[in-house]
Chains A and B, each alone.
Chain A
Amino acid sequence: MIIKLAFKELFVKWKWSLIFIFNLAFGFIGFTTVLSFQNAIEENAKANSKQILSADLAISSRKKIPDSEITKTENYLAKNKINYTRTKVTEFFAMVTSGTRSHLVLVKAIDNLYPLYGELILTRSTIQNHSPKPIFDGPSIWAYSELQGILGVEIGSTLKLGSLDLKVDDFITKDATQTFRLASLAPRIFIDSTWLEKSKLITFGSTFTEAYLYKFDTDSAANIQKDLFALINDPAIQIDTPTTASEDSARQLGFLTDFLNLVALVAILLAGLGASYLYQVFARKKVKDFAIFKILGLSYVSLVKIYILQLIVLSFLVCVVSYIGSLSFLPFLQWILSSLVTQTLDVQIPVYVVGLTLALTFIASLIVVGPSIQALNKVPPGLLFKDDNNEIFKSSKNIFSFVVALCLMGFLTLLLTRSLMMTSIFIISIAGLAALFYAVGNGIIFLLGKLPIRFWVYKYAIKSLQRRKSTSLVLFSTIGTAILLLNLLPQLKHSLKDEFLTKGNSQLPSLFLFDIQDEQIDPLRTLIKQNNKDISQLSPIVRSRIIKINDTPYERKVDFSAFKTREEERDARSRNRGVNLTYRDHLSSSETLTDGIPLSEYKGELPGLSLEERYAGRMGIKLGDIIEFDIQGVEIKGKVINFRKVKWASFQPNFFISFGSGVLDDAPKTSIGIVNGLNDAEVASIISQVTKNLPNVSVIDVRQLIKDLLRVSDQMTLSLELMAYLSLITGFIVLISLISIQLQDRRWEINLFKILGSPNSSINLNLLFEYGVVVLFSVVLGISFSFLVSFLTLKFTFDAEFSFNFKDSFYISLAVILIAMVIIQYMTSVYLSKRSNEILKESS
């Protein structure tokens, strides 16, 4: 009987069921799509993990790895009778030149055994472990194909790298170690490592990464990694397996998928808000049925069983619709992101995503429906027969639902982004925005009520808004939030472009020079002077490692647990990697002192330290703390005496940690500096001169770099915009559902207006005005809040200035208002076309 009753109601009320299903399903389409895409990236990285690392195990460091550590490793392998093949790779940034053109590249110096796994696909051949490698036959290279366009070179052309003239043997079209194009701002070139010494590019103090790659005859890389972590104490030495390498690789797109997930979660929240309202309307209508069932002797438990069964059916159908929606939506997302992913992804909707969606739709439905069902049980059947049952569904229940929904959102955000910080910011933002929408929406409705409008068409539209406040506020919030998301991205993009490309032209440096050896400083100054410019903000850079904070060892953190938050991962990475120090007494133009005293005024016993405030916050370091560093084997202590705020987007030489002058003067170091105020011709000329005369100094064309970064960010934001549009569609579906349900509910009121003699045009105007006001103010609120959120994001994340992008906001607003009005007009005309007599019969 329970099954019959449950299905019968859904079947008879099929229109309502469909609206409910589509409402929630649209919210879940984005979620299912992004999760499937994320899964494809991770699966691809896992499947290609050995190729990505090109080894079973890699021991690497951003300095020369002592021979003793390699001996220790190989003794361990011999002791455990593990046969291995070893290859060594050295990576560093350098400039290559062809004719008058120069460009920054990442040089990979390899030996004849590279790659241990995977392959390099060249235009004429494929290079594997035992393939013949022509670059070992003479001074030649393989280069990423991008260099063809950048330097105008062909196969057989000669490139200058340091003191070497190298022939281009072939171009690489696919490199198995590179999964994503995000990091390809400096294209790679591969050379025979024996040429490294001859190039004289790596000297004492140079920045480079050294890696020993191992291929084993056993499959126990994870155990070997654990044992080696215990054996090799130097935290600056990293030990990777294919698993950690694939995780690192997938993380490259992590921030993008995180943001995509957040937008998808917002869509779910919007859909949930709409569905919650729909269910309340539904519950109000079934109050009498509930009372009848109760009086007929059906227990509350049986009634709950009916509703739970209905929810299971509805959740299943929501899942099916969102699955079909995702199947249609996935190719768009994949197409948009295809330029960022070098691998061909096999994107399918995995079973676990379907299961998760089903579980979530059920939980979401339960959150939406639970309070209504619970409310019904507490009311005596007699009261349920009363016409007015508004009191049964008090707003406190909605707030409870909202809090439970927020908790679920928090859990999902943490699960998807694995970042406590991102989860906190997201949940606080959602709660804050909900409060803002509620407060401002309430304020607007209150103020509208104060307007001295006498014409009944407008007057009663406003009264309806005031007296059906919960509907008005749900519409305000859903449409407003969707608009906020939609307008936020163009605002951020516009402001960042304005900051970097327009204003930036005068404020940003033209060139960023690094890897400058001490003896190259004077010749470099002279060279720049000859071009009537100066090298400025020349800052020493010293590689170091933190060994103690307040006498507590800052040791390597190795965590093999399955679930690690991003903060834990970052902490582990920062412990395992070194830190760049500088020394100077004054602040640079992009720095501001926020706490403590300037380094120049400090007279203490221990050397003074200045820390970037957010870095200090992440590390939990306070003023007065003592930090001990290892600088090339020498231990130096410093006392934190101030915190600085750094404008990182200025592209000036900036550092997390700075000593005062004098302490590090004798430490092995290189320098970095900038050159300002160059035009395009001067940039090309100086890069060419520097590369020719000081070959191991690397130069970045800052404007070109920013253009490249913005190009990548454009592709990323396009995918986010796509998700934002999905949220907007969800908002529209909520709008359609709510208006449809409301008009159905209000058909008697509309009919009454007709019977009382009001022409259709007046009723139409009344409804258009009522819903139009909601849409208009939602758009205004959404746009205003998007300005506020982008202002705050720019200020606190990029430290950039907000600049208005009125054009995009205007078009978005206009489009949304027009679409919404068309929807409203269509739906009201459907109800107005019904004959009064038919509606009269329905109620008699």
Chain B
Amino acid sequence: MIEVENLKKSFKQSENAIEILKNLNLNVKKGEKVGILGQSGSGKSTFLSLMSGLDAPDSGDIRINGVSTTKLSEKDWTDFRAKNISIVFQQYHLVGHLTAAENVMLPLEILGVDEKQAQTKALTLLEEVGLKNRVHHFPHQLSGGESQRVAIARALITTPNLLLADEPSGNLDQETGQKVMSLFFDITSKYQTTTLLVTHNEQLASRCDVVYKLSQGKFEKL
């Protein structure tokens, strides 16, 4: 499903190039949940950026469902991402002037799905994440946990081949974080979504099928 081969990425700082990712290799099977642990600055988020096409590697290849994404143009990446990849961010990133339902519908509407169909699916998902009564609320009217649940519903509405999650409970208190992550694991299991979860929380990562530690630019299987 996902094959990462010799992935390299470095950043220039003044005149020196700092190599963040060094010959990274990874294989993920369909429906598998992979936890990626690492300290701050270890390159976890950079890895997710490369996986989602928001940044380009210096060298190496990423194949998702057999498609070599490093050869995609920006336009093709946008199209590929819309159909195959979803992301859940630590900061939720909901559109402020859209309601919970409208936020969830948005990815489907961008793909050209009929409004009614998108709405039905969004309401179902919101019900699944326990927000049946909050569908018409705006992000500023929702708590942190609720906002992240909306973000999860939005990520799953397109039934993506790959779900990338970047510290999804990082902004939540422990109790809420646990509840949200339980829901996250339940729902991704239900939809058999291939998931890459980036976190520094070992307990959380341990709930994944496979856990890697990203250290000094390389994966170490735990």
Instruction: Evaluate whether A456 and B96 lie within 8 angstroms (CB atoms) in the complex, with A759-B78, A840-B54 already known.
Output: no
A351 to B87, CA, bound (A): 61
Q: Mark A380-399, 1 if CB is under 8 A from B, else 0.
A: 00000001101000000000
Contacts of A81 in B (CB 8 A): none
**CB of A468 within 8 Å of the partner chain:** yes
Contacts of B109 in A (CB 8 A): 456, 459
**CB of B140 within 8 Å of the partner chain:** yes
Contacts of A762 in B (CB 8 A): 110
Assess the A749–B96 pair: CB atoms within 8 A.
yes
Assess the B87–A755 pair: CB atoms within 8 A.
yes
A71 to B95, CA, bound (A): 89
Contacts of A387 in B (CB 8 A): 140
Contacts of A388 in B (CB 8 A): 140-141
Cβ distance B40 to chain A, nearest Cβ, rounded Å: 10
Assess the A757–B49 pair: CB atoms within 8 A.
no
Cβ distance A330 to chain B, nearest Cβ, rounded Å: 44
**CB of A703 within 8 Å of the partner chain:** no
Within A534-588, the residues touching B (CB, 8 Å) are none
**CB of B83 within 8 Å of the partner chain:** yes
Assess the A467–B97 pair: CB atoms within 8 A.
yes
Instruction: Evaluate whether A756 and B107 lie within 8 angstroms (CB atoms) in the complex, with A836-B54, A837-B49 already known.
Output: yes
A840 to B81, CA, bound (A): 16
| Most B C-beta atoms less than 10 A away, residue of A753, A755, A843 | A755
Assess the B98–A463 pair: CB atoms within 8 A.
yes
Assess the B79–A757 pair: CB atoms within 8 A.
yes
> Which of B45, B81, B83 is the one whose CB lies under 8 Å from A755?
B81
> Which of B75, B97, B114, B140 is the one whose CB lies under 8 Å from A463?
B97
Contacts of A467 in B (CB 8 A): 97-98, 138
Residue of A nearest to B90 (CB): A844
Classify chain A's interface size: 20 to 34
Cβ distance B75 to chain A, nearest Cβ, rounded Å: 7
Contacts of A390 in B (CB 8 A): 140
Contacts of A840 in B (CB 8 A): 45, 49, 54
A137 to B53, CA, bound (A): 100
Q: Mark A819-844, 1 if CB is under 8 A from B, else 0.
A: 00000000000000001110010011
Q: Mark A735-759, 1 if CB is under 8 A from B, else 0.
A: 0000000000000110011111111
**CB of B115 within 8 Å of the partner chain:** yes
Assess the A759–B75 pair: CB atoms within 8 A.
yes
Q: Mark B85-107, 1 if CB is under 8 A from A, else 0.
A: 00100110101111000100011
**CB of B82 within 8 Å of the partner chain:** yes
Assess the A844–B79 pair: CB atoms within 8 A.
no
Contacts of A342 in B (CB 8 A): none
Assess the B110–A456 pair: CB atoms within 8 A.
yes
Contacts of B96 in A (CB 8 A): 749
Instruction: Evaluate whether A756 and B106 lie within 8 angstroms (CB atoms) in the complex, with A388-B140, A836-B54, A844-B45 already known.
Output: yes
Cβ distance A759 to chain B, nearest Cβ, rounded Å: 6
- Report how many residues on chain B are interfacial, defined by Cβ distance under 8 Å: 30
Residue of A nearest to B91 (CB): A843
Residue of A nearest to B109 (CB): A456
Within A358-407, the residues touching B (CB, 8 Å) are 387-388, 390
Cβ distance A709 to chain B, nearest Cβ, rounded Å: 54
**CB of B52 within 8 Å of the partner chain:** yes
Instruction: Evaluate whether A463 and B49 lie within 8 angstroms (CB atoms) in the complex, with A456-B109, A753-B110, A757-B79 already known.
Output: no
A748 to B103, CA, bound (A): 14
**CB of A16 within 8 Å of the partner chain:** no
Assess the B54–A835 pair: CB atoms within 8 A.
yes
**CB of B55 within 8 Å of the partner chain:** yes
| Most A C-beta atoms less than 10 A away, residue of B78, B82, B114 | B78
**CB of B111 within 8 Å of the partner chain:** yes
Assess the B110–A756 pair: CB atoms within 8 A.
yes
Q: Mark A462-493, 1 if CB is under 8 A from B, else 0.
A: 01100110000000000000000000000000
Assess the B79–A759 pair: CB atoms within 8 A.
yes
**CB of A460 within 8 Å of the partner chain:** yes
A582 to B93, CA, bound (A): 81
Cβ distance A392 to chain B, nearest Cβ, rounded Å: 12
Assess the B106–A456 pair: CB atoms within 8 A.
yes
Residue of A nearest to B74 (CB): A760
Cβ distance B2 to chain A, nearest Cβ, rounded Å: 19
Instruction: Evaluate whether A837 and B54 lie within 8 angstroms (CB atoms) in the complex, with A463-B98, A463-B102, A757-B81 already known.
Output: yes
**CB of A79 within 8 Å of the partner chain:** no
Residue of A nearest to B94 (CB): A752
Contacts of A836 in B (CB 8 A): 54
Cβ distance A458 to chain B, nearest Cβ, rounded Å: 11
**CB of A454 within 8 Å of the partner chain:** yes
A755 to B110, CA, bound (A): 11
Contacts of B141 in A (CB 8 A): 388
Assess the B140–A754 pair: CB atoms within 8 A.
no
Assess the A757–B140 pair: CB atoms within 8 A.
no
Assess the A752–B93 pair: CB atoms within 8 A.
yes
Contacts of A456 in B (CB 8 A): 106, 109-110, 115
Cβ distance B39 to chain A, nearest Cβ, rounded Å: 15
Contacts of A837 in B (CB 8 A): 49, 54-55
A698 to B81, CA, bound (A): 88
Residue of A nearest to B114 (CB): A454
Assess the A460–B98 pair: CB atoms within 8 A.
yes
Contacts of A460 in B (CB 8 A): 95, 98, 102, 106
Residue of B nearest to A464 (CB): B97
Q: Mark B108-127, 1 if CB is under 8 A from A, else 0.
A: 01110011000000000000
Residue of A nearest to B110 (CB): A758
A460 to B107, CA, bound (A): 13
| Most A C-beta atoms less than 10 A away, residue of B75, B87, B93 | B93
Cβ distance B74 to chain A, nearest Cβ, rounded Å: 9
Assess the B110–A754 pair: CB atoms within 8 A.
no
A460 to B103, CA, bound (A): 10
Instruction: Evaluate whether A757 and B90 lie within 8 angstroms (CB atoms) in the complex, with A388-B140, A456-B109, A463-B98 already known.
Output: no
Instruction: Evaluate whether A757 and B97 lie within 8 angstroms (CB atoms) in the complex, with A454-B115, A840-B54, A843-B91 already known.
Output: no
CB-CB nearest 3 A-B residue pairs = A757-B82, A388-B140, A467-B97
23 residue pairs A–B, Cβ–Cβ below 8 Å: A456-B115, A459-B109, A460-B95, A460-B98, A463-B97, A464-B97, A467-B97, A467-B98, A467-B138, A468-B97, A748-B93, A752-B95, A753-B110, A756-B82, A757-B110, A759-B75, A759-B79, A760-B78, A835-B55, A836-B54, A837-B55, A844-B45, A844-B91
New A-B pairs, 19, CB < 8 Å, besides A390-B140, A752-B95, A840-B49: A387-B140, A388-B141, A454-B115, A456-B106, A456-B115, A459-B109, A460-B95, A460-B106, A463-B98, A464-B97, A468-B97, A749-B95, A756-B110, A757-B79, A757-B107, A759-B78, A762-B110, A836-B54, A844-B45
